[in-house]
A and B are shown apart, each in its own frame.
Chain A
Amino acid sequence: MTALWPRIEPLLAGVEKPARYIGMERGALRPVHRPDGVSWLLVYPDTYEVGLPNQGLQILYEILNERPDAAAERGYAPWTDLEALMRDRAVPFFSVDTHRPAAEFDVIAFGLAAELVYTNVLNCLDLGGIPVRGEARRDEDPIVIAGGHATFNPEPMADFIDAFVIGDGEEAVGDITEIVRDWKRGGRVGGREAVLHELALLPGVYVPSMYEVEYEGMAIRAVRPRYPDVPDAVDKRTIADLADWPYPKNQLVPLIEVVHDRLNVEIFRGCTRGCRFCQAGMITRPVRERPLEQARTMVAEGLKRTGYDEVALTSLSSADFSGITELVGGIVDGQEGCGNVGVSLPSLRVDAFTVGIASEIQRVRRTGLTFAPEGGSWRLRQVINKLITEEDLYAAVDGAFSQGWRRMKLYFLIGLPTEMDEDTLGIADMARNVVEIGKRYTKGASCTASVGGFVPKAHTPFQWFGQNSAAELQRKVGLLRDATRRSAVKLSWHDPAASMAEGIASRGDRRIGRVIERVWRAGGVFQEWSEHFALDRWTEAMAAEGLDPEWFTTRHRTEDEILPWDHIRAGLHRDFLWQDWQAALAEHGLPDCRWTPCYDCGVCTDYALEHVVASPVAPAGGSQGTGQDLSVGGAVPVRLLSSKEAAGAR
């Protein structure tokens, strides 16, 4: 083992934010590497400030280090200033825990939360002296793994990743450790092919080199496993009960400021609101709530251990947690023993209940509140199944302004299916109306409308939809700029060009691997950072590979087309997704199945799973604005935690 610190240290005097590279966070573990164990390097392929707070990586870091046969360290993409010095002095990519060279690990695992980080994966491998393409790796090179939401379409990264973990990683990392451990101990018999073949037999693990893709022109004709024992399709991994996984137990506290710089406690995983544009909501079903008592304990102990004065209760829609009132109330009343603690709920619904919760947690400083109506008209919100009426929004906003808030921020998507200019312009109308409501209470009322270009994702009802071109998105941004000029509405928007690159990487097939490699070789790293992004690199790479960007982005797919990710399964029946796509086009909404009868999307039935909630009563405020009176009951298709489970789980 070679510690690189003496060679890294002299470089740090010349770089921005050198503390990105020193590790030493409170909560950092001291991994012990044993020759017959498996060493993991867990990499978030973006800057330290973006990557450190990633909960998935922190969870696996703890789970692996608890195993006697594994040790795990962390790595983050070095910023371009340090990378230049590292390449100049031949210092390889390293871990921040013990500054160990990447190539000395048995497994390198990347967390892929989004697609634009793909080129950074190649850069980290190359900087580590590891061949970027899987086929070029030798037996002694690390096994390269990837997990995270983006891997639900693994194909664009198939050339570079040896094995993908689809779904929850908590259990899969243990299974992988055992296979790699035994292969190492047995003298690597059969070489890389043998260990990858074994990994391909694990539930939730997809090894792209075990599959052959046949094309017919631009279309995919078939995807076939190369061995009879390798499954035709890979089903995602799902942990049945969050109560069994109270991680991270020691959340890392970084020395420098990072995004989400606070204690984060995951209160549930999965979402059944069924917003049709939302990949996270579709692929993480069913809903698994953490028992209230366990959440309380994690908050109280986490605050004590970290010294943070703020906690975020994380999930895809935190106000839907069935114990939210009790949990928030306990924290703000100081019942958790820490006093003066701020609470943030990162994903708020748009309703009066949410404003009530918000006024609980922001007793002192009420400055800004954020809502996400996503679509500019009721018609369009039915299409995307974000069933918020304008009355819901205005009532929530009125409540917020009347209780002292001054700034509202509204999130919208543009380029949604069936969107007409009147829908787009509805964004400006809503934002203007919000300002008007605010003016009744305060002269300083303002509203920011933040618009992003919609990029369809795999395993959603919109996976067949041809996204808007960059020019069309730009035109819609222009409409909104004109419509909000000379008003108190502030408009902010994402670069439409980046939506095209994201579209290529999101719904591409294996042929996109060559494109990603070209973009990287042309210097395209940190593609999520506007100062490093240029669409030209992507279009030039597509042209060089003879691939038409429109085929992958703006083209509508047909029902019978084999999609590049059809052999990866998130549990959602293809029929269900297609029906939901047709329902979207017919402007039909679909209620939240947590509190209404099951419509059989496929996840619970196929995987023998159930929603796990802490209370049989739907949270106040209902769900999805469907107008149902949910608090009075009806059949609730959920498994309830027994009181013993709820009390005993820690």
Chain B
Amino acid sequence: MRGEVGFPVRIRFSELGKVRFISHRDAARAFDRAFRIEALPIALTEGFSPRPQVSFGLALSVGHESVAEYMDVRFARDLDLDALPGRVSAALPEGIDVTGAVHLVDRAPALQESVTAVEWEIEVVTVEGAPVDGSALTDRIAAVLSATELPVTRTRKGREDTVDIRPGIRHLSVLRPGEVGTVLHAEVATQPGVRPAELVAVLGDAYRDLRVLRTAQWIERGEARCEPLDADALRAVEARAS
């Protein structure tokens, strides 16, 4: 985070249950209010129109759940990070919980640029919502992984683009039977990014996702692969909570 004043902190949080239907922006607003309810002062940027120094990591789509969301906040004063998860969670909507917080080194690279891979659990059902057999999916996964190219069409601001998602797929396998369908485990890169719905789409027209859960985000630097709380922590071990 930029700026010299204040105490940069990286926070990990989960977003589970009904609250998954709010947008990324709504979640940001909920944190903003929670910090104010708990009287945790955020440092402001300097300049003509000061703004709170908060930056969120990768966006979570409306309807997707996660146990691995991250944000960076610069607090105006030093805080007891052991107590922080409990305090902030109590002021957040039900289903959003802070599960860890660490002091960051000053000028740590931003989450958006640092995170290079994410993992998902995706429960797949038929388009009609009926159960899907795991072995049928195993065959489809094999076909997807052996493809040299997987073009998908994205619409952005009314313009259609074709993107090859194959280079972004690092891992795809059947994990376990789900409540209705079959749960897949996927790891994808963030550059080029791959969306869970695109993974399901390349498996075939007959399928759709029922539940999507982000289970991890990774920061990779050379050989090292870290959870974002560990990547740029000031005193990583000390401040880990719950």
Contacts and interface: CB of A to CB of B under 8 A. Distances in A.
Interface of A: 5, 9-10, 12-13, 18-19, 21-24, 26, 253, 255-257, 304-309, 338, 364-365
Contacts of B16: none
Contacts of A256: 22-23, 26
Given A18-B21, A24-B19, A365-B49, A308 B94 contact: no
B21 A22 contact: yes
A19 B34 contact: no
A81 to B, nearest CB: 14
Contacts of B34: 307
Contact of A309 (B30, B36, B91): B36
A305 B129 CA distance: 41
Contacts of B91: 307
Contacts of B30: 255
The 7 closest A-B CB pairs, nearest first, are A307-B33, A18-B21, A307-B37, A307-B36, A19-B21, A22-B18, A19-B22
Interface in B179-200: none
Interface string B31-51: 011111100000000000100
A18 B37 contact: no
B62 interface: yes
Contacts of A307: 32-37, 91
A257 B33 CA distance: 13
B193 to A, nearest CB: 21
Contacts of B62: 18-19
Nearest to A365: B49
Main secondary structure of the interface of B (DSSP, over half): helix
A12 B33 contact: no
Contacts of A22: 18-19, 21
B63 interface: yes
Contacts of A305: 37
Interface string B49-86: 10000000000001100000000000000000000000
Given A19-B22, A24-B19, A256-B22, A306 B33 contact: yes
Interface in B160-218: none
Contacts of B63: 12-13, 18
A309 B95 CA distance: 23
B151 interface: no
Interface of B: 18-19, 21-23, 26, 29-30, 32-37, 49, 62-63, 91, 93-95, 129
Given A18-B62, A307-B32, A307-B33, 16 more contacts: A5-B18, A9-B18, A12-B63, A18-B63, A19-B62, A22-B18, A24-B18, A24-B94, A26-B93, A255-B22, A256-B22, A256-B23, A306-B33, A307-B36, A307-B37, A309-B36
Contacts of B21: 12, 18-19, 21-22
Contacts of B36: 307-309, 338
B33 A253 contact: yes
A5 B19 CA distance: 13
Nearest to B37: A307
A15 to B, nearest CB: 9
Contacts of A304: 37
A334 to B, nearest CB: 13
Given A22-B21, A256-B22, A365-B49, A308 B129 contact: no
B29 A257 contact: yes
Contacts of B32: 307
B19 A255 contact: yes
| Most central of B21, B32, B91, B94 by chain A CB within 10 Å | B21
B26 A19 contact: yes
A306 B49 CA distance: 24
Nearest to B30: A255
| Most central of A22, A253, A305 by chain B CB within 10 Å | A22
Contacts of B18: 5, 9, 22-24
30 contacts: A10-B129, A12-B21, A13-B63, A18-B21, A18-B62, A18-B63, A19-B21, A19-B22, A19-B23, A21-B21, A22-B18, A22-B19, A24-B18, A24-B95, A26-B93, A255-B26, A255-B30, A255-B93, A256-B23, A256-B26, A304-B37, A306-B33, A307-B33, A307-B35, A307-B36, A307-B37, A308-B33, A308-B36, A309-B36, A365-B49
Contacts of B33: 26, 253, 306-308
B86 to A, nearest CB: 17
A255 B93 CA distance: 8
A23 B18 CA distance: 9
Nearest to B62: A18
Nearest to B32: A307
Contacts of A12: 21, 63
A163 to B, nearest CB: 34
Given A306-B37, A307-B36, A24 B26 contact: no
A5 B62 CA distance: 18
Contacts of B23: 19, 256
B53 to A, nearest CB: 14
Nearest to B44: A340
A364 B44 CA distance: 15
